[in-house]
């Protein structure tokens, strides 16, 4: 099914409002939505729970049925508002969830997706959310959405359409927007290489996605061990909270390498860090303004003044660098922590970028041994 076909179905059924957090399983549809803003009313959410709340507000204002898109891991973020806000026993809000099925049993995927992929359908049943598995033909999806919308309205509750991989075709000849291919600006992997050299033999907690994958490969290229790095392969937005607890239990400088989309997802974590104010915590945000791995959809960082934000929540300092020369000269420990450094980069990732060859368990044990030896 083509993205345009899916959008036309939504419009025919008066499902004109979409909100959510992007996922690679819905990448083609969401890239099309971003590139054709005239087609649907679209609000980008920082996290999936917020998306359910935005959808609720839309229904209250219009009496219409909204669409909420998410990866199935994001269903965890959405459980609270789905049960305590939208549920038929509370405010009875009809909505259609578009859920990308990562970790589907029998299909290869990353370890952080396997559990949710296996239990998702049972979780939807436990939440009493009726669902359909999306078919690949537009006519079949139309029939499914007619039924789901009717169930949402008559039952006054959320319903879900689950998208296995490959339901929506990739659009031919449509380049990902906003990618800076061939330009001279600094990309994330180059920035990470410079930062790892500056950080040295100190613990790092890195956010999920390309950031952790690139840190792993940089270590491989430099024949360095991986014991210094806790690679947070899932749990988007929680790397800084992990780093906070570590910083409170060690005298070593602790560095969290975050992403703009990840930090926006759970911005309250920065307020917690500012409140407890560990002097040895340094928060680095690699900001490319996009959810790059899911198609380059814009994050909310484009509208943020990072320095004012970090200073407002209690960080001792907040700095911004936008080129390799400034990053090369920057002193990460010029002030006591908690300190923030935002590194502006352009989008773009090597096509041959690999994935960590160590399991999450192996990564955890090596990192814990390093912390024990450091503190012992």
The whole-number pLDDT of residue 247 equals: 97
Say if CB 335 and CB 317 are below 8 A apart.
yes
Q: Is residue 174 part of a domain?
A: no
Residue-wise burial string across 305-318, b where 16 or more C-beta atoms lie within 10 A, e elsewhere: ebeebbeebebbbb
Are 346 and 207 in the same domain?
yes
Q: Is residue 304 part of a domain?
A: yes
pTM to 2 decimals?
0.89
Are 114 and 249 in the same domain?
no
The whole-number pLDDT of residue 84 equals: 97
Q: Is residue 180 part of a domain?
A: no
Q: Note the pLDDT tens digit of each residue in 338-349.
A: 999 999 999 888
Q: Is residue 51 part of a domain?
A: yes
Say if CB 253 and CB 205 are below 8 A apart.
no
Does residue 174 have a pLDDT over 60? no
3-state secondary structure string across the chain: CCHHHHHHHHHHCCCCEEEECCCHHHHHHHHHHHHCCCCCEEEECCCHHHHHHHHHHHHHHHCCCCEEEEECCHHHHHHHHHHHCCCCCCCCCCEEEEEECCCCCCCCCCHHHHHHHHHHHHHHHHCCCCEEECCCCHHHHHHHHHHHHHHHHHHCCEEEEEECCCCCCCCCCCCCCCCCCCCCCCEHHHHHHHHHHHHCCCCEEECCCHHHHHHHHHHHHCCCCCCCEEECCCCCCCHHHHHHHHHCCCCCCEEEEEEHHHHHHCCHHHHHHHHHCCCCEEEEEEECCEEHHHCCEECHHHHCCHHHHHHHCCCCEEEEECCHHHHHHCCCCCCCCCEEEEEECECCCCCCCCCCCCCHHHHHHHHHHHHHHHHC
The whole-number pLDDT of residue 172 equals: 62
Are 227 and 311 in the same domain?
yes
Tokens 């410079």, residue located = 194
State how many domains the chain has. 2
Q: Which residues pair with 215 in a beta bridge?
A: none
Q: How far apart are CA 322 and CA 109, in angstroms?
A: 34
Does residue 108 have a pLDDT over 90? no
Are 154 and 250 in the same domain?
no
CATH number at residue 88: 3.40.50.970
Q: What is the mean pLDDT of residues 89-101?
A: 97
Does residue 72 have a pLDDT over 50? yes
Are 110 and 14 in the same domain?
yes
Please give the residue range of the domain that contains residue 199.
188-375
What confidence category does residue 350 fall into, taking pLDDT thresholds of 50, 70 and 90? confident
Burial label, 374 (beta-carbon count in 10 A; 0-12, 13-18, 19+): middle
The whole-number pLDDT of residue 334 equals: 82
Are 248 and 345 in the same domain?
yes
Supply φ then ψ for residue 49, to 5 degrees: -65, -40
What confidence category does residue 183 fall into, taking pLDDT thresholds of 50, 70 and 90? very low
The whole-number pLDDT of residue 354 equals: 86
Q: Is residue 124 part of a domain?
A: yes
Which of 124, 147, 163 is a domain's end point? 163
Q: Is residue 171 part of a domain?
A: no
Are 357 and 244 in the same domain?
yes
Does residue 110 have a pLDDT over 90? no
Q: What is the mean pLDDT of residues 142-170?
A: 95
The whole-number pLDDT of residue 371 equals: 95
Q: How far apart are CA 101 and CA 332, in angstroms?
A: 40
The whole-number pLDDT of residue 182 equals: 39
Tokens 């040895």, residue located = 280
Mean confidence (pLDDT) of the chain = 92
Q: How far is CA 312 from the centre of its chain?
A: 24
The whole-number pLDDT of residue 375 equals: 81
Q: Note the pLDDT tens digit of each residue in 291-322.
A: 887 777 888 888 899 999 999 999 999 999 99
Are 24 and 126 in the same domain?
yes
Are 149 and 200 in the same domain?
no
Q: What is the mean pLDDT of residues 272-290?
A: 95
Picking from 193, 331, 332, 344, the residue whose alpha carbon sits closest to that of residue 260 is 344
The whole-number pLDDT of residue 237 equals: 92
Tokens of 97: 């969830």
Say if CB 159 and CB 18 are below 8 A apart.
no
Q: Is residue 62 part of a domain?
A: yes
Q: Is residue 14 part of a domain?
A: yes
The whole-number pLDDT of residue 180 equals: 45
Percent of the chain with pLDDT over 90: 77
Are 99 and 143 in the same domain?
yes
> What angle do the packed helices 210-221 and 188-199 form, to 10 degrees?
60
Q: What is the mean pLDDT of residues 118-137?
A: 96
Q: How far apart are CA 131 and CA 124, in angstroms?
A: 8
The whole-number pLDDT of residue 291 equals: 85
Burial label, 168 (beta-carbon count in 10 A; 0-12, 13-18, 19+): buried
Does residue 364 have a pLDDT over 90? yes
Q: Note the pLDDT tens digit of each residue in 211-262.
A: 999 999 999 999 999 999 999 988 899 999 999 999 999 999 999 999 999 9
Say if CB 68 and CB 96 are below 8 A apart.
yes
Q: How far apart are CA 367 and CA 375, in angstroms?
A: 12
Are 67 and 195 in the same domain?
no
Are 194 and 119 in the same domain?
no
């Amino acid at each position: 099914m083509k993205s345009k076909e899916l959008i036309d179905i939504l419009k025919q059924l008066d499902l004109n409002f979409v909100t959510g957090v992007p996922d690679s399983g819905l990448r083609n549809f969401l890239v099309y939505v971003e590139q054709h803003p005239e087609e649907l009313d679209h609000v980008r959410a920082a996290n999936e729970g917020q998306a359910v709340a935005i959808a609720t507000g839309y229904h209250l204002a219009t009496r219409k049925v909204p669409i909420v898109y998410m990866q199935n891991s994001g269903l965890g973020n959405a459980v609270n508002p789905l049960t305590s806000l939208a549920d038929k026993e509370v405010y009875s809000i009809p909505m259609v969830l578009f859920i990308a099925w990562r970790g589907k049993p029998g299909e290869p995927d990353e370890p952080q997706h396997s559990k949710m992929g296996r239990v998702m359908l049972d979780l939807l049943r436990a939440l009493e959310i009726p669902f359909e598995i999306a078919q690949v033909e537009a006519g079949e999806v139309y029939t499914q959405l007619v039924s789901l919308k009717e169930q949402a309205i008559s039952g006054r509750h959320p319903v879900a359409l689950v998208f296995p991989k490959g339901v929506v075709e990739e659009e031919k000849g449509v380049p990902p927007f906003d990618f800076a291919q061939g330009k001279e600006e600094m990309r994330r992997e180059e920035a990470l290489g410079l930062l790892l050299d500056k950080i040295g033999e100190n613990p790092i907690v890195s956010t999920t996605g390309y950031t952790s994958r690139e840190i792993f490969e940089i270590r491989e290229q430099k024949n360095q061990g991986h014991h210094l790095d806790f690679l947070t392969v899932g749990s988007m937005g929680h790397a800084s909270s992990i780093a906070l607890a570590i910083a409170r239990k060690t005298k070593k400088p602790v560095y969290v390498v975050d992403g703009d989309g990840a930090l926006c997802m759970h911005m309250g974590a920065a307020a917690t860090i500012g409140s407890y104010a560990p002097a040895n915590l340094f928060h680095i945000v690699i900001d490319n303004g996009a959810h790059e791995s899911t198609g380059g959809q814009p994050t909310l960082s484009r509208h943020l003044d990072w320095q004012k934000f970090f200073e407002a929540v209690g960080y001792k300092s907040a700095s911004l660098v936008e080129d390799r020369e400034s990053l090369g000269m920057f002193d990460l420990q010029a002030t006591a922590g908690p300190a923030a450094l935002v590194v502006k980069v352009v989008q773009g990732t090597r096509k041959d970028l690999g994935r960590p060859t160590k399991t999450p368990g192996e990564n955890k044990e090596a990192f814990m041994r390093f912390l024990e030896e450091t503190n012992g």
